[in-house]
A and B are shown apart, each in its own frame.
Chain A
Amino acid sequence: MAVTLPHNDLVAAIPRLRRYARVLTGESTRADDLVQDTLARAWEKRALWQDGTDLRAWLFTIMHNVFVNQRAMARRDARTVSLDDDENGGAAWQVPVAATQFTRVELLETMQSVGKLPAEQREVLILAAVEEMRYEEIATVMGIPVGTVMSRLSRARDKLRRMTGEPSVQLKMVK
């Protein structure tokens, strides 16, 4: 049990927390709010942090739970309509692509297509493929069995493969 958190490690974890938050929320400003809420929650729950264990996995678990709780609250307020529109894939998906990457068509296409995956599949895919977490860690972060992690991963990867075979993304500008 810890009475404080390793400050340098917390600061060092922020870029990865922002990335995970963007994957969860689908855009940047809400993502940073989620990071801030996660850090606040981590300080509230610091007694539960085991010194010497993986700080990233602990923070990611907190972030996942904060996000799920916030979304549940938003849905209660909205009653019948899903804020994130998960069924249709991320309607709100607005993740940035670095300026140097604009010319990479297949990269843009992949970044857009991953936003169309159901949120739960997208989350598993990014934690495995980009964050390079072990499947058991992902199961812990998301509070689901490893078997569910694996089946979501299969659906995510196969869907992505089908999507990027189709015509290029539709541009937002009409003119």
Chain B
Amino acid sequence: MPIDDNLLHAWVDGQLPAERAGDVEAALARDPELAARASAWRAHTALLREGMDAWLAEPVPARLIDAAARKPDVARWQPWFAAAATLVMGVALGWSGRDATLARAGIPTTFAREAAFAHAIYTNDARRPVEVAASDSQALVTWLTRRMGQTARAPDLTSVGFELVGGRLIAGNEKPTALLMYENAAKQRLTLQWRKLPAGTDEAQFRYDVENGVGVFYWIDDACAYALSGSLDRRQLLAVARITYGQIAGPDATPPAK
């Protein structure tokens, strides 16, 4: 008898009644193309389970435990989601078509673009801009060091009037990205983001771009990509970027030329 897709799925997914399994297996033995298809479906099913079952072991953020525990008074998502979506769209439209230029310049463009997105989203999140607050800066640095797999530093930007607000981790495609947020007395916010690159990645000088009022200086140092983003003018942001670079690279470092 012919085997339709429904039976084949049910066989792959273990949802086939036992009395039908013989029909499917007989058809697979007769038809090599059907067998190849079923075999690929099964292999992908196993791979997806392997890849995604690993997520189940990840620690659960405290805010989700809290959300499971009680009835909240108001739905908090509607205003901020709309705001964030609008910002992301604005930034995304501004960035389209830019990748080719940046790629020619040797900069990992996905990182720079993501930095602009993340800056727009998290600096505008009034309720929850960071996961770990600066009030426990030692714990913040320890946590980022552990999660990034390399020594993390939170640059001191008080000399230019910016205090550390806190930090968070953002998922990247291959590597996590660390984000630190700073704020000055005028409530302007900066974010410093960084991500590990493959060992041996060439250093890159400061590069600058601005979209929708968000300026981004980004550079590569010691196999790490950094991005400093903020709604400051270029001169101010460059000053902060030089200080940041100097503190990350150590006291002896000379800032890259610009």
User: Which A residues fall within an 8 A CB radius of B?
Assistant: 7, 10-11, 14-16, 18-19, 22-23, 27-29, 32-33, 35-37, 39-41, 43-44, 46, 70, 73-74, 77-78, 81, 83, 94-98, 100-101, 104, 106-107, 110-111, 114, 125-126, 128-130, 132, 134-135, 150-151, 153-154, 157-158, 160-161, 164, 171-175
Contacts and interface: CB of A to CB of B under 8 A. Distances in A.
Interface in B38-92: 40-41, 43-45, 47-58, 60-61, 63-65, 67-72, 75-78, 81-82, 85-86, 88-89
29 contacts: A14-B68, A19-B52, A23-B52, A27-B171, A37-B75, A40-B72, A70-B77, A74-B81, A77-B86, A81-B93, A83-B88, A94-B173, A96-B176, A97-B174, A106-B43, A110-B51, A129-B12, A129-B49, A130-B48, A150-B5, A153-B5, A157-B9, A171-B174, A172-B108, A172-B110, A172-B172, A173-B198, A173-B201, A174-B107
A101 B68 contact: no
Nearest to A158: B37
Contact of B67 (A23, A36, A134, A172): A36
B68 A7 contact: yes
B256 interface: no
Given A101-B51, A130-B48, A172-B110, A18 B201 contact: no
Contact of A150 (B9, B52, B63, B64): B9
Contacts of A19: 52, 55-56
Contacts of B184: none
Contacts, number: 179
Secondary structure of the A contact surface, majority rule: helix
A144 B13 CA distance: 20
A42 B8 CA distance: 35
Interface residues of B, number: 66
B106 interface: yes
Given A43-B70, A74-B81, A175-B108, A135 B15 contact: yes
Contact of B9 (A37, A44, A100, A154): A154
Contact of B64 (A7, A35, A101): A35
B47 A106 contact: yes
Interface of B: 5-6, 9-10, 12-15, 37, 40-41, 43-45, 47-58, 60-61, 63-65, 67-72, 75-78, 81-82, 85-86, 88-89, 93, 103, 106-111, 170-174, 176, 197-198, 201-202, 220
A107 B55 contact: no
Nearest to B6: A150
A173 B108 contact: yes
Given A14-B60, A128-B13, A96 B55 contact: yes
